[in-house]
Amino acid sequence: MKIISSDLHAIAVDPKGYPEDDLPEIAFVGRSNVGKSSFINSMINRKNLARTSGKPGKTRTINFYIINDEFRFVDLPGYGYARVSKKEQDKWKDIIETYLSSRKNLAEIALIVDIRHEPTEQDVMMYDWIRSFGYRGIVVATKADKISKGKYHRNLKIIIDKLGLEDKNLIIPYSAIDKKNVERAWNMFESLI
């Protein structure tokens, strides 16, 4: 994919704030701090368009990034950050679910997990939900630069088994640092947009 332009298009908490056009969107969900914003930045060769943060639990909004004026990447609020109240977590859950269940533009939802860790119950729930809505269920296993060679395949298998992936081509080991598999990720998304 040749990136000609990329911009923040909209920030929303509910459907009133979503962009009003027919451009296809690929949304990214995952735990807080898993690397969603870093994934988006590295895919589009931008250092800090999608805001990344050392402080987990900061993104409370849906951020729409428009690419080549043709499609959007959508950065959803991260779930599962223990240090925010239940009430606040429920609010984020509502923001995420409203978007995912109502958005006509949505071409695919990709789940981002950390390759070093077994997926959480919330990851499993999210993945089941994605599949039940008829999406393919692409999984990006990021932070691959942080895992030893010895653990790499073992951990991928743990993730595949825990999430119940039917096809192991659906999981993309990735690194925002060295851009491992950036081409493979683009090939996967290009067929959808």
Ligand X SMILES: Nc1nc2c(ncn2[C@@H]2O[C@H](COP(=O)(O)OP(=O)(O)O)[C@@H](O)[C@H]2O)c(=O)[nH]1
Q: Which residues bind ligand X (CB under 6 A)?
A: 30, 32-38, 52-54, 78, 142-143, 145-146, 175-177
d(CA 181, CA 122): 26
Sheet holding 25-30, edge to edge: 6-12, 62-67, 71-75, 25-30, 106-114, 138-142, 171-173
Q: Which segment (28-36, 113-121, 123-131, 132-140) binds Mg ion by CB under 5 A?
A: 28-36
Closest CA to 111 of 55, 178, 35: 35
d(CA 7, CA 46): 10
Residue 63 is a binding residue for Mg ion (CB under 5 A): no
Shortest distance (Å) from residue 156 CB to ligand X: 15
Judged by beta carbon, residue 59 or residue 89, the one nearer Mg ion is 59
Which phi and psi (to 5°) does residue 187 adopt? -60, -40
Shortest distance (Å) from residue 109 CB to Mg ion: 16
β-pair type (171-173, 138-142): parallel
Judged by beta carbon, residue 89 or residue 142, the one nearer ligand X is 142
d(CA 17, CA 111): 23
Q: Any idea what DSSP says for residue 76? A: P
Residue 59 is a binding residue for Mg ion (CB under 5 A): yes
Judged by beta carbon, residue 51 or residue 136, the one nearer ligand X is 51
φ/ψ bin of 45: left (φ > 0), alpha (ψ from -120 to 50), beta (otherwise): left
Residue 37 is a binding residue for Mg ion (CB under 5 A): yes
Shortest distance (Å) from residue 83 CB to Mg ion: 16
Asked if residues 100 and 113 have their Cβ atoms less than 8 Å apart, the reply is no
38 binds, among ligand X, Mg ion, none (CB under 5 to 8 A by kind): ligand X
176 binds, among Mg ion, ligand X, none (CB under 5 to 8 A by kind): ligand X
159 binds, among Mg ion, ligand X, none (CB under 5 to 8 A by kind): none
Judged by beta carbon, residue 70 or residue 125, the one nearer ligand X is 125
Listed in sequence order, the residues at least 6 apart from 91 whose beta carbon sits closer than 8 Å to its beta carbon are 60
Judged by beta carbon, residue 79 or residue 135, the one nearer Mg ion is 79
Q: Which residues bind Mg ion (CB under 5 A)?
A: 36-37, 59
